[in-house]
Structure 1
Amino acid sequence: MEVGGDRTLGLLVRCRFDSGDVAMFTGYGSVTWDGVTYVGAGQALSIGEAGATSEDDIPGLSITLSGLDPEVIARAELEEFQRRRVTVLLGLFDGEGQIETADVLWEGIADTMESDDSPDAATTTLGMEPRSMELGRKYPFYYLPEDQQRRFPGDRFFDLVQAIQNREDTWGR
């Protein structure tokens, strides 16, 4: 989208997976922003409208890649994608195709992935939910030594919590 003069707007998408980041933008070639190199996907990358993905009617977002090699789709389906962070940036590009500035447009967590590996138009759609959904989730973590050992083996931070909880100290005498 042309903004004015020779400046254009574009979208940058960064998905953080276990095997590494996938960073693409709606242009051609490659650009670097904030230490991350984004590879141009051109018209193959599209971002859907924000729509509700849960019972709470909090809007989610979807990203679709089309024209993919079926091997790429197969590899994407094997990747652990749920609960991985995804950031969409709105970037302002100069006349030479370099990013002048970019701001976070949407940030969320990958939720669902649907693939169509037909020979005519192989596509993969990643459905995401906003990070604010994390606030409503319950995580069974208690401040006990056993919980700390599960998360950080060898850490002894909570070992004395039980001992100091009923202790009476006199201060200022």
Structure 2
Amino acid sequence: MDTSGDRILGLLVQCRFDSGDLAMFTGHGSVEWEGVTYLGAAGQMLRIGEAQETSGGEMPGLTLTLSGLDPEVVALAELEEFQRRRVTLRLALFGPEGQIEAADVLWDGLADTLDSDDGPEAATATLACEERAMDLGRKRPFYYLPEDQQRRFPGDRFFDLVQAIQNREDTWGR
């Protein structure tokens, strides 16, 4: 991205939840990029933690903090299914009129935990996210049982006979 002239850099945050996307950026008003409308948080309500590089194979996480919220909004956020939902952070180049000229993915991950603080004046919510690559290391137990097959493919009867044939002795080649 060429940042010369009257161009400004900003951050776009998109959280994909079941009830809909939450899209914000570090500016005022609203902007659109790739069909998504980002609402301005002016850098006061939206705070993005540092994603630090680590040596030794550890994957860095990222925190997003929203402050100045209504306590009712925090209560609704706590009811939302947020774990394992995708979160994308983009670095955007804004033109002189405030429109987005280019945006590149800076960080892409999954929501992990949500901490909230219902302060007397304004509430805050902090969403901790982890790299999507962390998901590759998770074990997904699958056993060759009819119950597991039914969960994955309802109506499939492939493993129904496994129990019957596992101890069977057959004589081959006489």
TM surpasses 0.5: yes
- Aligned partner of 1:165 in structure 2 is none
How far off its partner does 1:57 sit? 3.4
The one-character-per-residue Cα deviations of 1:116-167 (angstroms, maximum 9, x if unpaired) are: 110234211100110010111111235776545323435x5x849x8xxxxx
- Aligned partner of 1:101 in structure 2 is 102
Gaps in structure 2 of 5+ consecutive residues: 162-174
Gaps in structure 1 of 5+ consecutive residues: 163-173
Q: Percent identity?
A: 70
Q: Structure 1 residues 139, 69: CA separation in 2 closer, same or farther (over 3 Å shift)?
A: same
Contact 1:144 1:159 in 2 (8 A): no
Q: TM-score, normalised by structure 1?
A: 0.80
- Aligned partner of 1:24 in structure 2 is 24
The one-character-per-residue Cα deviations of 1:56-84 (angstroms, maximum 9, x if unpaired) are: 73210001111111111111111111111
Q: TM-score, normalised by structure 2?
A: 0.79
CA distance in 2, matches of 1:49, 1:70: 26
CA distance in 2, matches of 1:33, 1:142: 44
CA distance in 1, matches of 2:103, 2:17: 22
CA distance in 2, matches of 1:94, 1:26: 14
- Aligned partner of 1:68 in structure 2 is 69
- Aligned partner of 2:33 in structure 1 is 33
Q: Report the secondary structure of 1:138's partner residue.
A: coil
How far off its partner does 1:18 sit? 1.1
- Aligned partner of 1:45 in structure 2 is 46
- Aligned partner of 1:82 in structure 2 is 83
CA distance in 1, matches of 2:153, 2:16: 22
Between structure 1 and structure 2, the one with the greater Rg is 2
The one-character-per-residue Cα deviations of 1:4-27 (angstroms, maximum 9, x if unpaired) are: 321101100111111111111111
Alignment length (residue pairs): 155
How far off its partner does 1:51 sit? 4.7
CA distance in 1, matches of 2:149, 2:158: 9
Matched, 1:12 2:12: yes
CA distance in 2, matches of 1:4, 1:20: 36
CA distance in 2, matches of 1:90, 1:144: 47
What is the RMSD of the two structures over their aligned residues, measured on CA atoms? 2.3
The one-character-per-residue Cα deviations of 1:102-126 (angstroms, maximum 9, x if unpaired) are: 0100000111111111023421110
- Aligned partner of 2:59 in structure 1 is 58
Q: Structure 1 residues 123, 104: CA separation in 2 closer, same or farther (over 3 Å shift)?
A: same
